[in-house]
Amino acid sequence: MKQKTGKTRKTRKTRKARISTVVCAVILLMATVLSGCNADPQQIAQLVGAMAENPQKTQEIVQEPAAAENDNATGKSEGEATAENDSATGKSEGEAAAENDSATGKEDGKTAAAEKSEDNANDDAPALPEKDIYIICTSDVHCGIDRGFGYVGLVQVVENLRAQGCDVILVDNGDHVQGEPIGTVTKGEAIIPIMNAVGYDIAIPGNHEFDYGIDEFLKYDELAEFPYISCNITKDGKPVFEPYLIKEAGGKKIAFVGVTTPKTFTSNAPKTFQDENGKYIYGFKQGDGSQLYSAVQDAVDAATAEDADYVYLMTHIGNEKAQSPYNCMDLIKNTSGIDVVLDGHSHDNEKMVIKNKEGMDVTRIACGYKFNTIGYSHIKAKDGTTDTGVWVWENQESVPELLNISNGITEVLEDAQKRIAEETKRVVAESDVSLMIDDPVQKDELGYPLRIVRHRETNLGDLCADAVRIRSGADIGIVNGGGVREDIDKGDITYGDIMNVHPYGNKNVVIEVTGQQIEDALEWSCRSTPNDEGGFLQVSGMTFKVDTSVKSGCIRDENNMMKGISGERRVYDIMIGDKPLDPKAKYTIAGNEFILLKNGSGYTAFDNATIVDEDAGLDNEVLIDYIVEDLGGTIGSEYSDPYGQGRILIED
């Protein structure tokens, strides 16, 4: 291992006049945020508040995240960054949490570095930083290169801080090579040159850095002009990367320790971490948690022994209680000597203050999802204290788009997008049949093909559901009709063709539910049949019948969520494989998290399900892999009938 140092919606024209006043305010806000060393986060928060008090002028810009369209949103809109209220907060008694939706302006609690300064407040007190230092952090960008702040906005932040005389260290906490077509069609490699151009100083691997295999990830490491670090990734028991790195800035030595969630070991295919004989050779210090805590503590102690003035933990581990013992709360509570934790993985942007093993406060922030958040930690020259928080952008339009920002990265991104446009034309498979979302015969009153994927079985629906089930190993696979967007024509199949089928890139999961939950979900799925319903389920591994002469007994609440079912049911004769469904039995279902975990399309039938696999791949990548690997690159005659294989029988 080498060692290294150091379909898009257009903005409505009519909005321009309506938002001119607000644009001025937003530019003022961004100028304040980007002004760097002299920026007062409290003033920023006050400005945001003042703007919010005038909703007639601000609702177009400072808005709630737009809901995703066509019944296939991810459950949270693309700009949404807050953690779920019932997810882990990690706050023990007396712990404080900062606001989520703006820079907080609050100084961190008494950190290890601050404690050391107080202990040495006399003649031997350490020297203060020579200048203000900013650690700028991104995480879980997931190939959203032009979403939110985007790489262009990020560079603008860094350049403005440096123009103010600050030293800046730029770091990334993983999951940067997967999540959109630019990652899928290049197996993540197109992202690394962009990160090189942006000027990252350090990065850590997230769990998705291994989605394309360990060999592909090692290619990223070779391409990267910045070092990857991790204290808990091993091969044959030995470290793969340096566990920590010390950077000098503002006359201070700042240590960065890398941590990748041990859940990576089970969230990828086993062969990813095995040799050719099926023996596991890679590991992540997985176990009961103690192995991870020990690895982190060893790295922190080693960095401290090298006279690091500050110790930052770069983690891809998250704040979800369900991930215990591998979450930021458990990690902080079982270690000491860490000043600040820069976190990722759980897609939140929450600031938390957690007591460490010695009872001292440690500040933790996370950087959201697809560039809706940039994290910062400001080491102040005046007193050496740290102020850590996040800048959040929750609007549909990106910062560069709305504020007309262009810099040296703009052309880099344009070149990358051109490359992807060419890659999407590349032939990856072929089909002996045409796969449909529309009726091949019937037309509407205007002569257009009649869409049927949202109210009856189709061969493309069968293919997509089969991909989900077979690639995950679940008993049942489901795909909502609203998420199957385009036909696949007979003949050559390009990457672009497959991406057009599942353009949203939703994450698949596997859950365990009872037969009764499945029965309830199917009743909700078919409540509008034979009329269109985006939540209509295409299925694999099961069959059933629908009697449309029976009035739907589904009851919905004021939010169009399933509240219950009364009276006679229209779905019957449900078979799982070749056996009748048992309402009391347990079954595994694979599908996108929008339906299975986030009540998408009103599905509440799966509430309280047991999560078997929280990350079973992106829907479009799963479809590509199924066609190429499981079908040998050819979609054959088993999918020839445009009305499917008879899994859903609809009776009048």
Domain with residue 288: its CATH number is: 3.60.21.10
**Contact in structure between 133 and 169 (CB atoms under 8 Å):** yes
pLDDT given for residue 277 in this prediction? 87
The CATH number for 503's domain is 3.90.780.10
**Exposed / middle / buried, residue 444 (Cβ in 10 Å: 0-12, 13-18, 19+):** exposed
Residues 403 and 466 in one domain: no
> Does position 94 have pLDDT exceeding 80, yes or no?
no
Residue 377 lies in a domain: yes
Residue 351 lies in a domain: yes
pLDDT given for residue 49 in this prediction? 38
Q: Name the residue type at position 357.
A: K
* pLDDT 10s digits, 389-437: 999 998 889 999 999 999 999 999 999 988 888 888 889 999 999 999 9
Average pLDDT over residues 241-252: 96
pLDDT given for residue 58 in this prediction? 30
**Longest Cα–Cα distance in the chain:** 90
CA 308 vs CA 116, 228, 253, 399: distances in Å = 12, 19, 5, 36
Out of 375, 404, 420, a domain closes at 420
Query: Is the bond leading into 530 cis (omega within 30 degrees of zero)?
Result: yes
* CA–CA distance, 136 with 172 (Å, rounded to integer): 9
Q: For residue 182, name the pLDDT band (cuts at 50, 70, 90).
A: confident
Out of 420, 437, 459, a domain closes at 420
Decide: helix, strand or coil at residue 218. Answer: helix
Residues 386 and 470 in one domain: no
Residues 399 and 514 in one domain: no
Phi, psi (degrees; rounded to nearest 5) at 254: -115, 120
Residue 143 lies in a domain: yes
Residues 375 and 494 in one domain: no
- Tell me the percentage of the chain whose pLDDT exceeds 90: 63
Give the β-pairing of 133-138 and 167-172.
parallel
* pLDDT 10s digits, 342-377: 999 988 999 999 999 999 999 999 999 999 999 999
Query: Is the bond leading into 193 cis (omega within 30 degrees of zero)?
Result: no
CA 365 vs CA 100, 109, 253, 314, 429: distances in Å = 10, 13, 21, 10, 43
> Does position 145 have pLDDT exceeding 90, yes or no?
yes
Decide: helix, strand or coil at residue 17. Answer: helix
* CA–CA distance, 256 with 221 (Å, rounded to integer): 18
Residue 84 lies in a domain: no
Out of 420, 448, 468, a domain closes at 420
* CA–CA distance, 363 with 326 (Å, rounded to integer): 17
Q: Which range among 91-105, 483-497, 534-548 shows the weakest confidence by mean pLDDT?
A: 91-105
Q: For residue 124, name the pLDDT band (cuts at 50, 70, 90).
A: low
- E strand or H helix at 184, and its extent? helix 181-184
Number of domains making up the chain: 2
* CA–CA distance, 343 with 352 (Å, rounded to integer): 11
Domain range for 410: 15-65+102-118+126-420
Stronger pLDDT, 72 or 521, i.e. the higher one: 521
